[in-house]
Amino acid sequence: MVSTKKPRIHNYKALIRYAKMLIFSSHSDITFAIVLLEFIVGTAFLILTIYAFRKMRLSYSIYMLLSYLIPTFTGTFSSQPRYALTVFPAFILLALWYKEQNPIIKRFFVAVNIAFGAIIIALFTRGYFVG
């Protein structure tokens, strides 16, 4: 007997799962920082993907959408920062946004990225963070 039920994809479960982990986990644990980082990168690239459909050509937007959806089909944002590095249209979109900003916002953006870069390198060298 062949099943006629269509498989249902619950991609939103990754967002709900990470929201629960952020709310109910111990905030003093290093895994909280990793979960927070993965959640921030996952949601930021979702927002960039939606924004790409308005600002970029369709092929880049579809590439971004598929690059975002395929890793999250597992139900987690695990290693999402590493997967996000391959989504080159997102970096083009960020460069276009950055070019339009005033110098104060540019300096703030650079400072925040340097801080996040230092934190990620520290976590990686200590063995807490894969990518």
In this structure, is residue 26 part of a structural domain? yes
In this structure, is residue 31 part of a structural domain? yes
- Measure CA 88 to chain center: 13
**CA–CA separation, 23 and 16 (whole Å):** 11
pLDDT, one tens digit per residue, over 9-61 is 555 677 777 777 777 777 777 777 777 888 888 889 999 999 999 999 999 99
The whole-number pLDDT of residue 89 equals: 94
Residues 21-51, buried b or exposed e (16+ Cβ, 10 A)? beeeeeeeeeeeebbebbbebbeebbebbee
Give the total number of structural domains in the chain. Answer: 1
In this structure, is residue 4 part of a structural domain? no
Is pTM beyond 0.75? Reply is: no
In this structure, is residue 45 part of a structural domain? yes
In this structure, is residue 64 part of a structural domain? yes
* pLDDT mean across residues, the chain: 82
Determine the angle formed by the axes of helices 30-55 and 103-125, rounding to 10 degrees. Answer: 140
In this structure, is residue 8 part of a structural domain? no
In this structure, is residue 7 part of a structural domain? no
| Residue-number span of the structural domain to which 107 is assigned | 13-125
In this structure, is residue 114 part of a structural domain? yes
